[in-house]
Amino acid sequence: MQTQPLSTTRPYSRRDWQTGYRSLEQELDYAIEDVAGEIPPELEGTLFRNGPGRLELGGQRYRHPFDGDGMVCAIALRNGRAHFRNRFVRTEGFVAEQQAQKILYRGVFGTQKPGGVLSNAFDLRRKNIANTNVIYWGGKLLALWEAAEPYRLDPRTLETLGPDDLKGGLKPGEAFAAHPWVDPASELDGGEPCLVNFSISPGLSTRITVYELNPAGDVVRRYSHSVPGFAFIHDFVITPHYCIFFQNAVSFNPLPFVLGQKGAGECVQFHPEKPTQAVIISRRGDHEKRVISVNSGFVFHHVNAFEAGKTLVVDSISYDSLPTLEPGQDYREVDFDALAPGQLWRFRFDLASGSVAQQKLDERCVEFPVVHPDRVGRDYRYLFVGAAHEPTGNAPLQGVLKVDLQTGDRQLWSAAPYGYGSEPIFVPRPGATAEDDGWVLVLIYNAERQKSELVILDGRDLGRGAIATLRLGHHVPYGLHGSFTPE
Note whether 193 and 183 are within 8 A (CB): yes
Q: CB nearer to ligand 3ON: give 169 or 265.
A: 265
**C-alpha–C-alpha distance, residues 424 and 202, integer Å:** 30
- The distance from CA 416 to its chain's CA centroid, rounded to whole angstroms, is 22
Distances (CA, A) of 169 to 172, 173, 295: 10, 12, 35
Q: Is there binding between residue 300 and ligand 3ON (CB under 6 A)?
A: yes
Instruction: For 38-77, give the DSSP string.
Output: ---TT--EEEEEEEEEE-EETTEE-SSGGGSEEEEEEEEE
**In sequence order, what E strands does 332-437 have?**
343-350, 356-360, 366-370, 382-387, 399-404, 410-414, 419-420, 425-428
User: What is the footprint of ligand 3ON within residues 404-443 (CB under 6 A)?
Assistant: none
Q: CB nearer to ligand 3ON: give 233 or 468.
A: 233
In the list 75, 268, 447, 476, the residue contacting ligand 3ON (rule: CB under 6 A) is 268
Q: Is there binding between residue 244 and ligand 3ON (CB under 6 A)?
A: no
Q: CB of residue 295 vs ligand 3ON: minimum separation in angstroms?
A: 19
**C-alpha–C-alpha distance, residues 275 and 43, integer Å:** 44
At residue 267, what are phi and psi to the nearest 5 degrees? -95, 5
Q: CB of residue 40 vs ligand 3ON: minimum separation in angstroms?
A: 27
**C-alpha–C-alpha distance, residues 375 and 392, integer Å:** 28
Q: Is there binding between residue 484 and ligand 3ON (CB under 6 A)?
A: no
As to burial, measured by CB atoms within 10 angstroms (0-12 exposed, 13-18 middle, 19+ buried), residue 178 is buried
Sorted by sequence, the CB contacts under 8 Å of residue 433 that are 6+ apart come out as: none
Binding marks (x or -) toward ligand 3ON, 116..135, rule CB under 6 A?
A: ---------------xx---
Q: CB nearer to ligand 3ON: give 175 or 468.
A: 175
Distances (CA, A) of 44 to 9, 77, 308, 371, 487: 41, 5, 35, 19, 8
In the list 55, 71, 264, 388, the residue contacting ligand 3ON (rule: CB under 6 A) is 264
Q: CB of residue 249 vs ligand 3ON: minimum separation in angstroms?
A: 15
Q: Is there binding between residue 480 and ligand 3ON (CB under 6 A)?
A: yes
Which part of the chain contacts ligand 3ON (CB under 6 A), choosing from 151-159, 264-272, 369-377, 457-465? 264-272
User: What is the footprint of ligand 3ON within residues 333-372 (CB under 6 A)?
Assistant: 367
Q: Is there binding between residue 12 and ligand 3ON (CB under 6 A)?
A: no
User: What is the footprint of ligand 3ON within residues 203-232 (CB under 6 A)?
Assistant: 232
Taking CB atoms, the residue at the shortest distance from ligand 3ON is 264
User: What is the footprint of ligand 3ON within residues 145-204 (CB under 6 A)?
Assistant: 146-147, 202
Q: CB of residue 108 vs ligand 3ON: minimum separation in angstroms?
A: 4
Interface residues with ligand 3ON (CB under 6 A) are 66, 108, 131-132, 146-147, 202, 232, 234, 264-265, 268, 300, 367, 397, 478, 480
